[in-house]
Amino acid sequence: MALAIELTGITKRFPGVIANDDINLAVEAGEIHAICGENGAGKSTLMKILYGMQPADEGVMKVNGEIVDFTSPSEAIDAGIGMVHQHFMLAGQLSVLENVILGAEPTKSANRIDRAVATKHLAEVGEAYGLTIDPDDLVETLEVGERQRVEIIKVLYRGAKILILDEPTAVLVPQEVDELFRNMRELKADGATILFIDHKLEEVLEIADTITVLRQGKTVATVKPTDVTTADLAELMVGSELPTPATSASTVTDEVALEIRDLTVLDDNGRPSVDNVSLRVHRGEVVGVAGVEGNGQNEMIEAVMGTEPIHAGTIILHNSDITRLSVRARREAGIGYVPQDRHHEGLLLEAPLWENAALGYQTKAPFSRGIWFDSAGTRERTEKIREEFDVRTPDIDVSAHALSGGNQQKLIIGREMASEPELLVAAHPTRGIDVGAQAAVWENIRKARRAGMATLLISADLEELIGLSDTIVVMYKGRLVAVLDPNEIDARALGSYMTGANLALDTTAGDAS
């Protein structure tokens, strides 16, 4: 079989780090080729080189047998390569058609877009690949799985025959993953070549024709899914068995740590994004919040943290009303926070790691002594976080921007957990991190839970949500619609609640207490 992609001896160096070290990768035309590896293994760097986002220091790239040296994504697109990023790059206020053609608009004249031609081409692409969608729908009205479909259509519209999918299932419920995999198989049947980056090893084994494993910047194995198990892949990636989020005996107490009463949050159009929600989280309890993105769960936790204005309702922390307190006051009251967007909410990307380790806690020991900043204490705490949470960096003086996404996440998790909060509000705490780091995060949550920490957990990983939670609440269209026992539900049934399919069957919807 002819090779669609051939990378030989690819090396990329950053100050103090070799991100890619003589990597070789061969991808046959018309196959689904998965790339696995722990955080910092070099997956994202390699894909950025292939997509023209940054140059390699050494090595040769071939696309369909031709040597290439892309200097920009536009050159990669011209060569038939398209990339769907983990974080969607869509404008919610624009239609599907407008998002798809943005930057590639057919024109009648210098100032007029030929919408008829664009609509026709979009319909042809959708029909050819089984990805039809209404071109006039506003993207902000679409479900997450539909938005991902728009991203895929966008690269196909530009003529891509080689697709790079970066963590495409990270925010999907099982039913949406099934739909995505159907789309991928149809794309493959129509001759497309797909590079698939994923941390969920069961999914890799289900969808891939070939799997390449990277470790510490090197290629360590290329295998067929029929020849390996998830345990084998985990061993290749990180040298350990696949972890499980399962939690043992209950540690839930009668003491309420967090109470949300009749909470309503309005969106920019005055409509309720959180609609009269009430719930309680007890000391020693993990309450998991399930919901397809866009159903109010993120606005709810932002209201708890004070970053989202509250229209109505009350938030109680350990019998104290914190509804009108500042973010800083809530943090000082004992709330730890892992935000869903680590770049915009969790880190100062250009600041050194020791400065990021102090964010939100800079007024407390060991980061300060009275009114004075404690440099020695800050560096000591940062080194402790680096070691205990395996933050891979040459030193703590490098900027957060220099870390891989997974290592950035581990820095945030370490910062919050090291401060031993009374309540941890965690949005997708293991998104984008490898199986070894997942195990560390899960164990730290379990350990803190045993010590009495309360946790409000949002996760798109339903196995994680079921395994860690003592109680699961489901949010749908801004309302709390179900309260579930994680011991009595599986991921597929939970996904049905999240998409509204099971709501008619539920009789427990209401306040979580």
Cα–Cα nearest to 356, from 427, 295, 409: 409
Q: Are 427 and 458 in contact (CB under 8 A)?
A: yes
Domain that holds residue 222: 3-238
Instruction: Decide if 355 is inside a domain.
Output: no
Closest of 203, 156, 165, 158 to residue 27, by C-alpha = 165
346 inside domain = no
Q: Are residues 177 and 326 in the same domain?
A: no
Structure tokens at 190: 């129509």
Q: Report the alpha-carbon angle 200-201-205, nearest 5.
A: 125
Whether the predicted model's global pTM rises above the 0.85 cut: no
Supply the pLDDT for residue 243.
62
26 plus 114 within the same structural domain: yes
Query: Within 10 Å of residue 197's Cβ, how many Cβ atoms?
Result: 19
Answer whether residue 244 is part of any domain: no
Rounded Cα distance, 65 and 327, in Å: 55
Say whether both 198 and 303 belong to one domain.
Answer: no
Longest CA–CA separation in the chain, Å: 70
Would you state the pLDDT for residue 506? 47
Q: pLDDT tens digit string along 446-499?
A: 888 999 999 999 998 888 999 999 999 999 999 999 999 999 999 889 988 888
> What confidence score (pLDDT) does residue 502 get?
67
According to the model, what pLDDT value does residue 299 have?
93
198, 298: one domain = no
- Please report whether residue 378 resides in a domain: no
Domain boundary at 238, 270, 289, which? 238
Q: What is the pLDDT of residues 250-273, one digit of tens each?
A: 889 999 999 999 999 998 889 999
The rounded Cα 57 to chain-centroid distance in angstroms is 29
**How many structural domains is the chain composed of?**
2
The CA distance from 456 to 358, in Å, is 22
pLDDT tens for each residue of 77-103: 999 999 988 777 888 889 999 999 887
186 occurs within a structural domain: yes
pLDDT value of position 241: 60
- Statement to judge: residues 91 and 22 lie in one domain: yes
Q: 188 with 303, same domain?
A: no
CATH code (residue 96): 3.40.50.300
Task: Write the DSSP symbol of residue 503.
Answer: G
Q: Rounded distance, CA 153 to CA 28, Å?
A: 22
Residue pair 127/135 in contact (Cβ under 8 Å)? The answer is no
Same domain, 115 and 139: yes
* pLDDT at 509 (0 to 100): 40
DSSP element (H, E) containing 59: strand 58-63
Residues 12 and 57 sit within 8 Å (Cβ to Cβ): yes
Task: Quote the pLDDT of residue 109.
Answer: 61
Residue 240: its pLDDT value, please? 60
Cα distances from 330 to residues 247, 323, 362, in angstroms, run: 28, 9, 14
Domain boundary, last residue among 207, 238, 269? 238
Q: Is there a single domain that holds both residue 112 and residue 156?
A: yes
130 and 277, same domain (yes or no): no
Claim to verify: residue 201 and residue 314 sit in the same structural domain? no
Quick one: 213 and 81 in the same domain? Answer: yes
Spatial CB neighbours of 147, under 8 Å, sequence gap ≥ 6: 88, 90, 139
Tell whether 245 is covered by a domain. no
Q: Directed axis angle between helix 174-189 and helix 144-157, to 10°?
A: 20
Q: Are residues 217 and 284 in the same domain?
A: no
Instruction: Print pLDDT tens along the chain (513 aa).
Output: 799 999 999 999 987 778 899 999 999 999 999 999 877 788 989 999 999 999 999 999 999 999 999 999 999 999 999 998 877 788 888 999 999 988 777 776 666 778 888 889 888 888 887 777 899 999 888 877 788 888 889 988 988 999 999 888 877 778 888 888 998 999 999 899 999 998 788 899 999 999 999 988 999 999 999 999 988 988 888 766 656 777 767 889 999 999 999 999 998 889 999 999 999 999 999 999 999 878 899 899 999 999 999 999 999 999 999 999 999 999 999 999 999 888 888 999 999 999 999 998 888 899 998 889 999 999 999 999 999 888 888 899 999 988 877 788 889 999 998 988 999 999 989 876 767 777 878 888 888 899 999 999 999 888 899 999 999 999 999 999 999 999 999 988 998 888 887 664 443 444 465
- Output the CA torsion 213→200→458→495 (10° steps): 160
Backbone φ, ψ for residue 453 (5° rounding): -70, 140
Residue 362 lies in a domain: no
Beta bridge partners of 14: 17
Q: Is 21 part of a structural domain of the chain?
A: yes
